[in-house]
Amino acid sequence: MELTISEVTRSFDVTARMLRHYEKMGLITPFHREDYSYRCYDEENIRRLQLIVVMRKLRVPLKQIAVILRDGGQRETLEILRSNLAGLDSEIKSLETVRAALNMFVTRLDDSIRSKVRLDLLNDTELMEAANALSLSKSILKENIKMDELNTANEALSNNLNVRIIMLPPFTVASNHVIGHDPEETVGEPVDKFIRDTRLYEIKPDSRYFGFNHPNPGILEEGIHGYEVWVTIPDDMEVPKPLVKKKFEGGLFAALTIKFPEFQFWGELENWVKNSDEYELNYSELGLEIMGGCLEEHLNWVYSAHMGWPENGIDGQLDLLMPVRRKEKS
């Protein structure tokens, strides 16, 4: 069995950029057929990708997945999974403690309302001491977990994402736009050169760096898409070709910080907005032509480019920014 890159992205719900990152890490190794210019994935790579997807849903870091795929030893894999299980157990115990404390407060308040006796939370030492002395109950977990249950668990966890609502102000940007097989690989080079040549970080130390698909994969011919990057500049600053000076109108966004290349969180961020009682999606009318108006802010990029990519510079963090608006009150 062989799949093209487009078939893989659809089948496994991963982006082409995530696949390229997996390739760079040596997790998968696609090939090119003589009669076909795009990446293809054989049965071995498809199995490896299936394992990667499952391990990521289990919150196993990519570096550990690389060890599992590289060594393939049961003992090494067991140690990695045991380590992650221990961390998860610690989180579960913490959540159980919080749940028990909340349940105690709810019970006491409910009893006080029923008995028509006002409960003074600020001065109820018995309640506070009891909360501090909580005992933890044991979690009973099923051993046989199906894939749909794992997906459901991931969806439930997405509701607990640390999402912020931020207002991006209007700003002026220097933009570069590339369309091709791997536009993200080259689109930033002229912008990085511009940052260094103009010493932009010294002129505008609060400069920010954004990127987005333009257009999304699947709109043009197979394997071709675009990516555009922006760096914010002073309003009166001129930019050299091939860069283009543009204005951004600003807007309200739901923001989520991720570590590159965890772009699967785009789906979880969208679910968070859809489940929000206060906000709703506000995608651009241009739709997939500009990724619906979504942005990826590459944190610390301008500083790192200015300093020649020092070890203490960029650490692979991005903010996923999804346009939203407040729901109208009915």
Neighbours of 314 (CB within 10 A): 20
Q: What is the mean pLDDT of residues 310-317?
A: 66
| Most confident of the following: 43-47, 241-245, 290-294, 309-313 | 241-245
The mean pLDDT value for 84-88 works out to 85
Q: At what angle do helices 62-71 and 74-114 cross, to 10 degrees?
A: 150
CATH number of 164-326: 3.20.80.10
Find the angle CA(18)-CA(20)-CA(24) to the nearest 5 degrees. Answer: 115
pLDDT of 136 over the 50 cut: no
Average pLDDT over residues 65-88: 85
Task: Give one word for 40, left, alpha or beta, with left for phi > 0 and alpha for psi -120 to 50.
Answer: beta
Tokens 């393939």 label which residue? 72
pTM of this structure: 0.67
Q: What is the Cα–Cα distance from 284 to 18, expressed in whole angstroms?
A: 24
List pLDDT tens digits, range 155-204. 555 556 789 999 999 999 999 999 988 888 899 999 999 999 999 999 99
Mean pLDDT across 240-246? 96
In the chain, what are the domain boundaries?
A: 3-71, 74-141, 164-326
The model's confidence at residue 2, banded by pLDDT at 50, 70 and 90, is confident
Is the pLDDT at 235 greater than 90? The verdict is yes
pLDDT at 228: 96
**Taking Cα atoms as reference points, which of 321, 3, 7, 5 lies closest to residue 164?**
321
In whole angstroms, give the CA distance from residue 152 to residue 148.
Answer: 6
Say how many residues make up the chain. 330
Does position 138 have pLDDT exceeding 50, yes or no? no
pLDDT of residue 118: 72
Q: What is the mean pLDDT of residues 234-238?
A: 96
Q: Which fold has domain 3-71?
A: Multidrug-efflux Transporter Regulator; Chain: A; Domain 2 (1.10.1660)
Residue with tokens 């500083």: 303
| Same fold across 3-71 and 164-326 | no
- 328 is written with which tokens? 């109208």
Checking if the pLDDT of 75 tops 90, the result is no
Tell me what the pLDDT averaged over the chain comes to. 82
32-36, long-range: CB < 8 A, 24+ apart: 36/4
Q: Work out the pLDDT band at 305, boundaries 50, 70, 90.
A: confident
Q: Give the C-alpha separation, 142 to 139, whole Å.
A: 10
Pair of tokens at residue 273: 């907005």
242 versus 34: the higher-pLDDT residue is 242
Which residue has 């001065």 as its token pair?
Answer: 123
**With pLDDT > 90 as the criterion, what percentage of the chain qualifies?**
33
